[in-house]
Amino acid sequence: MIFHLGCGERKKPAGVNSDDYIVNVDSRDIPTADIVGCVSEIGWLVDIYGRPDTIAAEDVLEHLPRRSACAALGNWANWLVLGGLLHIRVPDLRHLAERFVAGHMNATQFERRVFGAQDYPENTHLCGWTRGSIVSAIEGCWLTVIRAETVNGNACVWARK
């Protein structure tokens, strides 16, 4: 069971195996969401589908205030099965700032990546992360980081329970 939290316009298809069942969740009622609801506290999802083997939250945590984001990480870690995988992707502020200062990104691109596109109410960034800060937050939830890298200006982290 995979929970794809904050799926947005990116619906993850189910895998070939029955073990690869994916639930695409978003706080907005959009066509790509299999179910609509709060993505920061997932006890309600566990009640419906059971504990997930994997939680993917790509471009979610930056939309929450810092305390709420850290609480969400703890909640997700709590509900993962033992040995489960957490995948997080957030904009990497340090990398984005370096690219902007070096002239590889214009001010409009930088602003959008740092503050969100702000084209609908939920698309505003309320906190920022670097690869180091998101790794520290994940490790603070008693998860073991198995991979952390910056890809296309995003800090991508994979951790196991």
What is the architecture of the domain spanning 2-160?
A: 3-Layer(aba) Sandwich (3.40)
**Domain chopping of the chain, boundaries:** 2-160
pLDDT score at 12 = 75
pLDDT score at 19 = 61
pLDDT score at 77 = 98
> What global pTM score does this model have?
0.93
Can you tell me the distance from the alpha carbon of 132 to that of 121, in angstroms, rounded to the nearest whole number? 28
Asked whether the beta carbons of 122 and 28 are under 8 A apart, the reply is: yes
pLDDT, tens digit (0-9, with 9 covering 90-100), for 62-99 = 999 999 999 999 999 999 999 999 999 999 999 999 99
Q: Which residues of 78-108 are buried (b: 16+ CB within 10 A; e: fewer)?
A: ebbeeebbbbbbbbbbebbeebbeeeebeee
The bridge status of strand 154-160 relative to strand 144-151 is antiparallel
Can you tell me the distance from the alpha carbon of 106 to that of 134, in angstroms, rounded to the nearest whole number? 25
How much of the chain is helix, strand and coil, in % rounded to 5? Answer: 35, 25, 40
Q: How many helices (H) and strands (E) does the chain have?
A: 5, 7
pLDDT grade for 17, boundaries at 50, 70 and 90? low
3-state secondary structure of 150: strand
* Residue type present at position 81: V
Decide if pLDDT at 16 tops 70. Answer: no
pLDDT, tens digit (0-9, with 9 covering 90-100), for 121-160 = 899 999 999 999 999 999 999 999 999 999 999 999 999 9
pLDDT score at 21 = 83
Can you tell me the distance from the alpha carbon of 83 to that of 81, in angstroms, rounded to the nearest whole number? 6
